[in-house]
Amino acid sequence: MVMFGFAAPAWANPADILLVNGKIITLDATSSVHGALAIEGGRIAATGSNEAMRKQAGPATKIIDLGGRTVIPGLIDSHIHAIRAGFRYATEVHWDGATDIKEAMERLRVAAAQTKPGSWLIVAGGWTARQFRELRRPTETEINVVAGEHPVYIQLFYGSMLLNARGRELLGIGSEEDLLGAKYDRDTGWITGPASLITSTYARLPKPDMDQAIDGTRRFLRELSGLGITGVIDPGGHNLDPEDYAALFALWREHALPLRVVYSICAQRPGKELEDFQAFTRFLPMGTGDDWLRFNGIGETVTFGMYNNETPTEANKEEFYRVARWAASQGMTLTVHWNNEASVHHLLDVFERVNREIPLAKLRWSIAHLHDASDSSLQRMKALGVGWLMQDGLYFAAPSYIAERGPDQMSHTPPIVSALKLEIPVGGGTDANRVMVPNPFVSLRWMLDGRTVDGIATRGPQEIPSREAALRLYTIGSAWFAHDDNRRGRLMPGMLADLAVLSDDYFSVELSRVAQIHSVLTMVGGKVVFAAAPFAELEAGRGQ
């Protein structure tokens, strides 16, 4: 319910907005919880009791009755490929939430009916066969039933893809020899091969035009707003060229972003990484931008020779050192994609070498993924001041991980509690949308129970955080990596008024239902960017 107050102001500057009759989770140092919150000038003015906050109302103050609902600081995904996802969102088919192959095929059928004849049907990721009741992938035969004459490309993580006959024809794949040694299953149509084959094939698919890219970016970011996300940290990634940022920049210029975007730029050309970074950042110093869009350094591909390379050569490490030292000298944040504990010592060796010359702690460098980090590696990261970007990719991929490394290793993976005990900066995230869905509440539930999409118990109780600790990772924890922990991630006086009013109380709802939580009212800087019943009338427009 929304009403306008007319009480005399408690001081010279009455609040612009009051949220009353709620459960305000501040995440301050004492974990205080209040009934109401005041916003002035886009920032939190005060928190306290309903009676105390109502005294801050003036003639123009908007008072929003929360009806007992829980309010949390806006969620921040510390590692999500939101720019790439948005760029292609309007021209791809999405299987997240589909519970069986029939539903997945129906989504393809609808897309086939709604798009131009002969246009591509693309499912670029964010799904797993384990989400389907059949516990298998759809076959080319099943896809042909619904796709008609459309070429089809379906990607599963970075190891498999399916192209129907029309798709193979358009890409000139006429035989297994054209697949560069990949395995082709003629019975199902699936092709299994290295990540380089998957990404290079995807790169040959048609890109959306500018209108489609803007529409997709707008739609994807709004989807995130509806999940309570008020900020993202984007690391770049595969299949994202410099010109693909144009749609995001266009929305920013129009003041139409519904959340705060902090982004990195990736290496573009093998062997030319330092040259390209220097050229791209000549007029783009660290921190360029504003509160809605800001440049945050380089990553996740820093050099191709050290991109998750389990056996880097000395030349690879020297090349990485040159780029990393240059970034440190420029005061830039750096983030690195690295999956494997067995080889991360190579990366940490280079970090330590740079740190001896230029201290890294103030730069807030990070390692993304590293699900199986050992205590030794975590301690080395802590000594450097390097943070850890942790995502829920194993919610989909744990079974293959268990098959490779065993259930004992899985019970400690990822070592969330161990990292928190060492006071290492940790950010929560998803790595969406190729390998995971972007829903933060799916990630939060997985942090809290360790169960996969098909219900397999994995992580042991020693690495299960409390609900508050998990929420802190997704708020103040993630804000650290954006150099924003003094402005975002807590609902305290002076902090930016980025918040989400939840459909259910995150702290008391049954654990199995955490993944179903969503936002019914999302605010960024005190502005409503998303509203659903019973607050739908508050969203007069969208964006900044």
pLDDT at 89: 97
pLDDT at 354 over 80: yes
- Position 253 scores a pLDDT of 98
Q: In which band, very low, low, confident or very high, does the pLDDT at 542 lie, cut at 50, 70 and 90? A: very low
pLDDT of residue 3: 44
CA distance 493 to 469: 21
pLDDT band with cut points at 50, 70 and 90 for residue 147: very high
* pLDDT more than 70, % of the chain: 96
**Banded pLDDT at 177 (limits 50, 70, 90):** low
Judge whether residue 158 has pLDDT over 90: yes
Q: How confident is the model at residue 4 (pLDDT cuts 50, 70, 90)?
A: very low
Q: Are 514 and 506 in contact (CB under 8 A)?
A: yes
Say which residues have a Cβ less than 8 Å from residue 250's Cβ, sequence separation at least 6: 210, 214
pTM (2 d.p.): 0.95
The whole-number average pLDDT for the span 162-175 is 91
- Tens of pLDDT, residue by residue over 441-465, are 999 999 999 999 999 999 999 999 9
The average pLDDT across 130-146 equals 97
pLDDT in tens, 303-335: 999 998 889 999 999 999 999 999 999 999 999
State mean pLDDT over 147-155. 97
Phi, psi of 190 (to 5 degrees): -80, 140
Q: What is the pLDDT of residue 198?
A: 94
In terms of pLDDT, which residue wins out, 507 or 543? 507
Q: Is the pLDDT of residue 243 over 70?
A: yes
Q: Is the pLDDT of residue 487 over 90?
A: yes
Q: Would you state the pLDDT for residue 308? A: 81
Q: 34-56: per-residue pLDDT in tens? A: 999 999 999 999 999 999 999 99
Confidence (pLDDT) at 176: 66
449-458, long-range: CB < 8 A, 24+ apart = 449/511, 449/512, 452/130, 452/394, 452/395, 452/396, 452/398, 452/399, 453/128, 453/130, 453/131, 453/395, 453/396, 454/130, 454/131, 454/135, 456/398, 456/399, 458/394, 458/398, 458/402, 458/410, 458/411, 458/413
pLDDT of residue 178: 73
Query: Could you tell me the pLDDT band of residue 2, with boundaries at 50, 70 and 90?
Result: very low
pLDDT at 6 over 60: no
SS (H, E, C) 337-359: EECCHHHHHHHHHHHHHHHHHCC
What is the per-residue pLDDT across 258-311, written as a single tens digit (0 to 9) for each? 999 999 999 999 999 999 999 999 999 999 999 999 999 999 999 999 998 889
Asked if pLDDT for residue 357 goes beyond 70, the answer is yes
Rounded CA-CA distance 377/368 in Å is: 13
231 contacts 260 by C-beta, under 8 angstroms = yes
**Is the omega angle on the peptide bond into residue 300 within 30 degrees of 0, that is, cis?**
yes
Mean pLDDT of 387-397: 96
Q: Exposed (0-12), middle (13-18) or buried (19+): which is 48, by Cβ within 10 Å?
A: middle
* Three-state DSSP state, 62: strand
- Residue 489: what pLDDT? 98
| pLDDT of res. 541 | 53
**Is there a contact between 217 and 246 (Cβ–Cβ < 8 Å)?**
no
Q: What is the pLDDT of residue 242?
A: 94
Output the pLDDT for position 543: 43
Q: What does the alpha-carbon distance between residue 243 and residue 89 come to, in Å, rounded to a whole number?
A: 16
Structure tokens at 248: 């995001």
Average model confidence (pLDDT) for the chain?
94
What proportions of the chain, in percent to the nearest 5, are helix, strand and coil?
35, 20, 45
Q: Is the pLDDT of residue 12 over 60?
A: no
Helices assigned H by DSSP within 123-209: 140-147, 165-170, 195-202
* Mean pLDDT of the region 76-89: 98
Q: Tell me the mean pLDDT in the region 171-189.
A: 83
Residues 6+ apart with CB under 8 A from 275: none
Put the strands of the sheet holding 335-338 in their side by side order. 335-338, 366-369, 387-391, 426-429
Amino acid type, 138: P
Name the amino acid, one letter, at 453.
Answer: V
